[in-house]
Amino acid sequence: MIRQTLESAYRRTVGSLRNGVAGLFGSLASRGGVIQTLYVIALVSLMAGFVTALVYRVPNQTYIPYPNAQAETIPEAVINAFVILTGGGGVYLVYLSGRQTAKARTVNMYLGLAMLLLVVSIFAGIDLAILKGFG
């Protein structure tokens, strides 16, 4: 009896996860989301400096922020991409909070999360600039 209960709970959990992942990728493929996702990835990678990290290679890639304004490492480009995506997520949540008119608590939640993401993005960007030697 315990085994049947555990197996059925496991099947329900795995089935719901499988359906959720299939629904996510199905909606991406059906509405042209793959092209939009690739566009966002390409745009963020260009803004983060992956091209600079590949063209102007640093001899020692163990530095996370390489202390030179003309060169950067690949881990630094990944951190730049994190800062950009975090700030973009904060701006998007501010946009969503303005569109929520049904519940005041939802507006406050979206706005609070947006401010948190924006503050994290700004502090991480400033910290990276200080470590890089700009400030």
Delimit the domains of the chain by residue range.
1-31, 35-132
| Residue 77 to residue 114: CA distance in whole angstroms | 23
Report pLDDT for 115.
94
- pTM for the model stands at 0.67
Over residues 12-65, the pLDDT tens digits come to 776 777 776 666 666 556 666 778 888 888 888 888 888 877 887 777 777 777
Does the structure show a pLDDT above 70 at 74?
yes
